[in-house]
């Protein structure tokens, strides 16, 4: 019993520690990429090529004073970023990194991810309500409406993948793509999934929950130092996770990128390359597109994505039924 607990703890550490390091250097990669696209240098002072900048940012955030507004609901205010980061990390428990490397290989891992992703909106609502600030509250309401709307679309797209694979387990979904990646027959669904992932993670051009030009910083306006850092880590954890899930659902996960290299290149490297590509796409979109109007975003979901994704599920189900 003690050995099983120790083994589970070691597995959790092996997942969480590299993830936190990846989150830190994703911030550097984003700043460097945006700088290159805007013809400037970006961080280049702290360490060689700015490689120590994430460590300096971390020390700064965790050493500054945490300001607790006197008008806020302190219990909800403090609990919100903690809940946000915990939910961002808990969802990694069922994500497979290779055929055997997974912390908890449950048969309904898709449903688990969908449930945890839906609950994560409560952390933002808690932040907006606990701050007792009009900017924070408006940002939280925007985030809730946005995330709930696009959860519907993401759920329907995942359902089309489940219909094709005949499984709710992520490992088996990847194995079902040995002949052809699902991005080929399900390309419209894959494109919609990526756009919905941008809205789900509150990233540009759908960053209405933090709209600096309107809401200062949205739901995290009143947060500083360590509490702000927890929200920051949760956001970037969601970005990496959505990139990873996109690779698992549509691009064959750890299956080889180059044919006939199965066994030569480790599966986790293939998965890492695919995840890095989609993560870079998140940054690329941020640098390329201006923020949409919020009403346009909601119309895109309810009048375009929802009818199309629902029709797509019916179409895929009909095709599978006819040819199975």
Q: Domain segments of the chain: what residues?
A: 1-63, 64-323
Q: For residues 131 and 215, is the Cβ–Cβ distance under 8 A?
A: no
- Residue 83: the pLDDT is 92
User: For the packed helices 121-131 and 74-90, what is the interaxial angle rounded to 10 degrees?
Assistant: 160
pLDDT tens-digit profile, the chain (324 residues): 677 788 888 888 888 899 989 999 999 999 999 999 999 988 988 888 899 999 999 899 888 888 888 888 889 889 999 999 999 999 898 999 888 888 888 888 999 998 888 888 888 889 888 888 888 888 888 888 888 888 888 999 999 999 999 989 999 999 999 989 999 999 999 999 999 899 888 887 888 777 777 777 778 888 888 888 898 899 899 999 999 999 999 998 898 887 777 767 788 888 999 999 999 999 999 989 888 888 888 888 888 888 999 999 999 999 998 987
Distance of CA 228 to the CA centre of its chain: 18
- Residue 308: the pLDDT is 93
Paired strand residues for 262 = 265
- Residue 181: the pLDDT is 93
- Residue 161: the pLDDT is 94
Alpha carbons 160 and 156: distance in angstroms, whole number = 6
Alpha carbons 23 and 226: distance in angstroms, whole number = 15
- Residue 256: the pLDDT is 87
Torsion angle of the four alpha carbons 131, 136, 141, 145, in this order, in degrees rounded to the nearest 10:
-120
- Residue 163: the pLDDT is 94
């Amino acid at each position: 019993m003690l050995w099983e607990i120790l083994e589970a703890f070691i597995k959790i550490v092996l997942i969480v520690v590299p993830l936190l390091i990846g989150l830190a250097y994703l911030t550097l990669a984003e700043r460097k990429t945006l700088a290159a696209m805007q013809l400037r240098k970006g961080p280049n002072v702290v360490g060689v090529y700015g490689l120590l900048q994430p460590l300096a940012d971390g020390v700064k955030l965790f050493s500054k004073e945490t300001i607790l507004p006197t008008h806020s609901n302190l219990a909800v205010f403090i609990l919100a970023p903690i809940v946000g980061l915990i939910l961002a990390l808990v969802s990694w428990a069922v994500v497979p990194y290779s055929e055997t490397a997974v912390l908890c290989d449950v048969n309904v891992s898709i449903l688990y991810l969908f449930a945890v992703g839906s609950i994560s909106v409560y952390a933002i609502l808690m932040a907006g309500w606990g701050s007792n600030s009009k900017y924070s509250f408006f940002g939280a309401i925007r985030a809730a409406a946005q995330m709930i709307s696009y959860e519907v679309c993401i759920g329907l797209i995942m359902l089309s993948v489940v219909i094709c694979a005949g499984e709710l387990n992520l490992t088996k979904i990847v194995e079902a793509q040995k002949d052809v990646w699902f991005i080929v027959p399900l390309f419209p669904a894959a494109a919609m999934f990526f756009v919905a992932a941008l809205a789900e993670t509150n990233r540009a051009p759908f960053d209405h929950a933090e709209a600096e030009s309107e809401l200062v910083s949205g739901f995290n306006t009143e947060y500083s130092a360590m509490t702000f850092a927890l929200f920051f880590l949760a956001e970037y954890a969601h970005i990496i996770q959505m990139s990873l899930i996109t690779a698992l659902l549509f691009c064959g996960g750890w299956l080889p990128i180059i044919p006939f290299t199965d066994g030569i290149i480790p599966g986790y490297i293939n998965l890492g390359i695919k995840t890095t590509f989609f993560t870079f796409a998140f940054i690329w979109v941020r640098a390329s597109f201006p923020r949409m109007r919020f009403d346009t975003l909601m119309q895109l979901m309810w009048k375009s994505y929802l009818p199309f994704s629902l029709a797509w599920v019916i179409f895929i189900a009909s095709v599978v039924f006819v040819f199975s």
